[in-house]
Amino acid sequence: MKTNHCLDWMNQGYVLLSQFLLIFINISSSQVLFEEINAANLHPRTFHLSPNQEFEVISKVLCEGLPCPEYSIMQDHPYFIQQRSYRAFTFLRLTTPITCMFKFSVAEGAKRMKKYIEGANNRDQVYSPTLPLLIEIEHTGSKSTNPWCVMKYSANFYTPHFWGIMATPTEIFEEVGSLPDNLQVYVHTFSGDVSDVLLREIELFRRNLDTLGFCYKKKKFYVAIYNIPHNPNDSRNELWFTKCTK
């Protein structure tokens, strides 16, 4: 009798549970408990930056608000390679090309730039700093076994066009250079002490460009240093390889 009584209670429990589930299903069909996301109704925010606006954003991040050469980003490639198009710009040569002595070119270039903008010119004109310190590197064809001695280096100081005619330096020979409009370069960014890691980064950059099948000029290229004076613990450096022209 006790067994039958327990079975009756169990059967009644199943009936009640079934009725409750039916009621819950009916309520769920008429009321949405969790709102479903309709992907077709989502509209991502889109906006367009003019070239000037784009560069303004870039300069604040990359150049910390200081004057620097203007460019547009053409495309981002694998291996974190960026393709840029630079507008024409001029620079003041701070050191003459010298072989083997990359570290000297960086240090001497930074020192001479500092003196020039602080008034070491025929007008005693004080200028604001600019970025980057641009090191031009050119292969010499030397058979030296020292990898630093197969290249020559010269340091250059970017001079914005809105500065007009520049004051003549008093401590260095005045030599002004320029890069053409719409200069297409592939850019590789790296950090660390540029004198310690440059050879490795050059080799890595070349290997990645070759893997992608990109054509670039191999004899002459540039290193852009954005932290002057150079701080190995907080530095941003770039390699610029010029894209081949047809």
Query: Taking the CA atoms of the chain, what radius of gyration do you get in angstroms?
Result: 32
Whether residue 126 contacts residue 113, with contact meaning beta carbons closer than 8 Å, is answered with: no
Chain-centroid distance of CA 72 in Å reads 12
Task: Measure the CA–CA gap between 134 and 223, rounded to whole angstroms.
Answer: 6
pLDDT tens-digit map of 83-140: 999 999 999 999 999 999 999 999 999 999 999 999 999 999 999 999 999 999 999 9
pLDDT tens-digit map of 68-82: 999 999 999 999 999
Comparison of pLDDT for 34 and 170, the residue scoring more = 170
pTM of structure: 0.77
The upper half-sphere exposure of residue 191, i.e. CA atoms within 13 Å in the direction of its Cβ, equals: 4
